[in-house]
Amino acid sequence: MASRELTVRTERWPIAGTFTISRGSRTEAVVVVCEIREGAAIGRAECVPYPRYGESVDGVAADIEAMVDALDDGLDRQGLLTAMKPGAARNAVDCALWDLEAKLAGKRAWDLAGLPAPKPLTTVYTISLSSPEEMAEQAARCGRPHLKIKLGGEGDADRLAAIRAAVPEATLVIDANEGWTPANLAANLAVCERFRIALVEQPLPASDDEALRHVRRPIPICADESVHDRPSLAKLAGKYDAINVKLDKTGGLTEAFLLVAEAEKLGLKIMTGCMLGTSLSMAPATLIAQRSFLVDLDGPLLLREDRPEGLRYEGATVYPPTPSLWG
């Protein structure tokens, strides 16, 4: 094997407007890009450090850079599962190795994974947390049939009433980002039932999700912050009906495939989600999304601009990545 060179850089991508969830607002997506060169081939990937999980941009970049010698010594994706902890840094290295292997083999990443060629997907589009009037206007203006609504504050019932009135036929998915409490959980779920919500994602803080075991769940509940990789599955039984698989949580595509297989054995449905990044973040996740009942890969749609070789989006449809992007 030829020697490998590792390059790590930070990039900032302005958001189209402001992106607000229950934990705060942002005006840009800050991503860390990992490139691994072997001969003339370069594998690359992107990750999004997430403060909720104790990550920082500088810390994630340093964790990736610390792998330079191990990668040059031939560290592969299986070895990476134990060499790095789950999280954004391992995701960038893992997905860069997938891309590098594909380019060295002259094949696509799904061929290496033994999968059929991916098909176009339907993705939800995220409506940022705001006033009922502003969210309803966003929902109506975007003209998309499947929406993910950010909630998690006082007035959520008013927000849902306004949005449902504005888009009476749209499929609505709710993401509270841990913003509800055990005290208001039942009342909020009743409101969701009234407005025909299809799914509620992570209503409670991960530390409080035991309450989900003791409340009527008229709508499927999906774990996000409560699930990362395979070891985190054990505590979900009786609380959740689905899991949101994000590569920045699993620590890469390799673990994500294993997580999905184990979750399906437990009877959990699979949603594929994303952090707020460019198409380079979304591309590997399109392989997981082929097995998902719900896809949330709209990150690039929320940016002012995407990478020039980014994924092709046509309305709610997102197409598989080209080799110039990834895999």
- Locate tokens 């947390």: which residue? 129
Phi-psi map region of 36: left, alpha, beta (phi>0 left; psi -120 to 50 alpha): beta
Q: Which of 7, 125, 115 is nearest to 61 (CA)?
A: 7
Q: Is 103 a catalytic residue?
A: no
Identify the residue whose tokens are 């409560």.
226
| Strand duo 197-201 + 125-127: pairing | unpaired
58: phi then psi, degrees, rounded to nearest 5? -65, -40
Summarize the chain as % helix, strand, coil (round to 5): 40, 25, 40
Evaluate whether 283 touches 311 at the Cβ level (below 8 Å): yes
Residue 116 DSSP label: P
d(CA 270, CA 263): 8
| Residue 150 and residue 177 in contact, taking contact as beta carbons nearer than 8 Å | yes
Q: Whole-angstrom Cα distance, residue 231 to residue 82?
A: 13
Backbone angles phi, psi at 135, to 5 degrees: -70, -40
Q: Which one of 103, 148, 239, 246 is the catalytic residue?
A: 246
Residue 122 CB contacts under 8 Å (≥ 6 apart), including other chains: 146, 295, 316, 317, 318
172 vs 187: CA distance, rounded Å: 18
Q: From the candidates 150, 235, 239, 269, give the one annotated as an active-site residue.
A: 150
| Residue 246 bears catalytic tag | yes
What would the two tokens of residue 185 be? 């959980």
> What are the residue numbers of the active site?
150, 246
